[in-house]
């Protein structure tokens, strides 16, 4: 099992994150009932990418304001 990202709380609260490679903004939250991370694109990215769920966080995502 992959280690859980400590930047995203298990409470379900969405955290603003950015792709450090492209600068694209995402909201990421953790669903403890499913054990999945929910990724929602923000801004103009919403017209290009769709929300998705995955078992781990994309390695390029970092908390917003840290890059």
Got the DSSP string for 7-62?
Answer: TS-TT---EEEEETTT--EEEEEEETTTTEEEEEE-GGGGGT---EEESS--TTEE
Is residue 62 over pLDDT 50?
A: yes
Q: How far is CA 24 from the centre of its chain?
A: 11
Q: What is the pLDDT of residue 2?
A: 45
Residue predicted with more confidence, 2 or 17:
17
Residue 26: count other Cβ atoms within 10 Å of its Cβ.
22
pLDDT for res 4:
46
What global pTM score does this model have?
0.79
Tens-digit pLDDT profile for residues 11-47: 888 999 999 898 899 999 999 898 999 999 998 877 8
pLDDT at 5 over 60: no
């Amino acid at each position: 099992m992959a280690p859980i990202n400590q930047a995203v709380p298990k409470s379900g609260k969405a955290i603003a994150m950015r792709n450090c490679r492209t600068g694209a903004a995402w909201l990421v939250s953790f669903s403890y009932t499913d054990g999945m991370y929910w990724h929602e694109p923000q801004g103009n990215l919403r017209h290009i990418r769709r929300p998705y769920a995955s078992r781990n966080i994309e390695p390029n995502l970092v908390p917003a304001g840290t890059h």
